[in-house]
Amino acid sequence: MPDSSYPQFPPDFVFGTATAAFQVEGSPHADGKGPSIWDVFTHTPGKVRGGQTADAACNTYADPLPDLDLMKALGLNAYRFSVAWSRVLPEGRGQVNPKGLDYYRRLVDALLERGVAPFITLFHWDMPQAVQELCGGFVGRDAAYYFADYAETVVRALGDRVGHWITLNEPFEHAVFGHFLGTHAPGRRNPWACFRAVHHQLLGHGLALDRIRSAAPQAQVGLTLSLTPILPVSPGDARAARIAEQFFCDLYLDGIFKGRYPDPLWRQIRLARPPVKPGDMDIISRPLDFLGVNYYSREFARAAWYVPFLGAWVDEVETGGREKVINGRQYTASGREVHAPGMYTLLMRLKNEYGNPPMYITENGAAFTDTVEDGRVHDDLRVAFLKSYLDEAAHAVADGVNLKGYFIWSLIDNFEWSQGYSQRFGLVHVDHATQVRTIKDSGYWVKELIARNQAAPAAAAF
């Protein structure tokens, strides 16, 4: 009898966790690594909560194996992690640093030994500082070409043992937080820079796609977008919600799947548009093998005359909402609403409007305040969160969505960008002073989820 407390997925469904290099590795200067914009940003006073840096992070560059053993113990099938561009190419281009590449080779081999499939993200926001200085990072068109060269270098080294490649992680966040709002590296506040960073990231993705395929013809290649349904705050905000949804989601989805940028947004930003050269949209819209979807919560948008070009914005998180229930809605410690049905709405939209590509949830998870008591972490809110979101994903699969797997953000508590270590997203608690790991109740719940799913086909055979 299927147990309804553990959602059921098809037998070959992939269960994984995700991290990103800058958030976990630490060792920013080890073995010839060059600085990234995030090293510079986190060392700039006032940019990160409490002045924290990721110099130590979760120490996984110095000592990756304990976490890989944890993945094996939890029965996880896959691990999504990112390569730090400036470990492989300290100057962002040119001379390869063999020690940097070797670290990822050892990591991949150790994963494979434990039966965990690597899914590698090539760009999770840590632009080499050298490329930033050379051309403004992705604000400059040249960065797209440097990125494609770097992607090929990594895939030539690891492509014989890695099946899944993700070119970019969340180009929206890198463009908008990094270049429009200034809350992420490189800390710019310039709409023109932002839209150039959008286009050049996507161009870099398309260029890299070809180079990855030529280096590893059997590779499955995709990219990861942060996607969310966006609703109007009031009926009068319907147009604002449409603009916001296009700004957050369709700009990327339409570029990739339709080879054009969406109206009315594209018309509305005409004075801030990036230069699009003939042929760019063909490169950007080359077919993907899969789409990576990061979904955390739905958003609400309203008209906002003061936001340049857009005239719309999403509702700011009420600080009072952090980790509380307000008007019947549960909020996480990072102030996001817990809203599992949005997962279903979003996946059905991708099925109906974007051709139902093979998809992975490449990130989903929640931050709550977790404490270790007698060697246990009773994170009931996270267990409830995961169950409700995975239920909606299973519902979408039952309704024909081509979802192949689900990666929880994150394996371990880590460095949450401008929020420092304040946001704990892990299935495994990390004491940041001692680096001691403690599996949370949610980790044990995921272990049971996987066991119940993967035991099912074998049991059915008897």
Active-site residue list: 170, 363
CB of 177 to ligand FCB, least distance (A): 9
Which residue type sits at 85? W
**Tally: H helices and E strands in the chain:** 16, 15
Pairing label, strands 403-409, 359-363: parallel
Give the count of residues interacting with ligand FCB (CB under 6 A): 12
Q: Token pair of 352, please?
A: 């109906």
Instruction: Please list every residue from 423 through 462 that binds ligand FCB, using CB under 6 A.
Output: 425
Neighbour tally for 245: CB within 10 Å:
23
Query: Which CB, 17 or 268, lies closer to ligand FCB?
Result: 17
Nearest to 419 by CA among 459, 341, 359, 367: 367
Considering only residues 172, 409, 421, 445, which one is a binding residue for ligand FCB as defined by CB under 6 A? 409
Q: Least CB distance from residue 323 to ligand FCB, whole Å?
A: 15
* Least distance to ligand FCB, CB of residue 182, Å: 17
Instruction: Give the contacts of 111 (CB within 8 A, at least 6 positions apart).
Output: 68, 71, 79, 117, 118
Position 370 contacts ligand FCB (CB under 6 A): no
Residue from 13, 85, 252, 417 in contact with ligand FCB (CB under 6 A): 417
Given strand 312-314, what is the order of strands in its sheet?
230-232, 299-303, 312-314
Burial (CB count <10 Å: 0-12, 13-18, 19+), residue 364:
buried
What part of residues 119-148 is at the interface with ligand FCB (CB under 6 A)? none
Q: For ligand FCB, give the closer residue by CB, 104 or 177.
A: 177
Q: Which residues contact 178 (CB under 8 A, 6 or more apart)?
A: 37, 125, 184, 185, 186, 187, 188, 197
Residue 160: CB minimum distance to ligand FCB, A: 28
User: Binding to ligand FCB (CB under 6 A): which residues in 260-299?
Assistant: 294
Cα separation, 396 vs 385, in Å, equals 17
Interacting positions 144-203 with ligand FCB (CB under 6 A)? 169-170, 173
C-alpha span between 23 and 16 (Å, rounded): 17
Q: Which amino acid is at 184?
A: H
Site for ligand FCB in 222-251 (CB under 6 A): 226
CA R_g for the chain: 21
By CB under 6 A, is residue 391 in contact with ligand FCB? Answer: no
Tell me how far, at minimum, the Cβ of 357 lies from ligand FCB, in Å: 20
Q: Which is nearer to ligand FCB, 152 or 363 (CB)?
A: 363
In the list 250, 363, 391, 392, the residue contacting ligand FCB (rule: CB under 6 A) is 363
| 20 sits near ligand FCB (criterion: CB under 6 A) | yes
- CB nearer to ligand FCB: give 28 or 426: 426
Nearer to ligand FCB, 137 or 159 (CB): 137
Q: Which residues bind ligand FCB (CB under 6 A)?
A: 20, 23, 169-170, 173, 226, 294, 363, 409, 416-417, 425
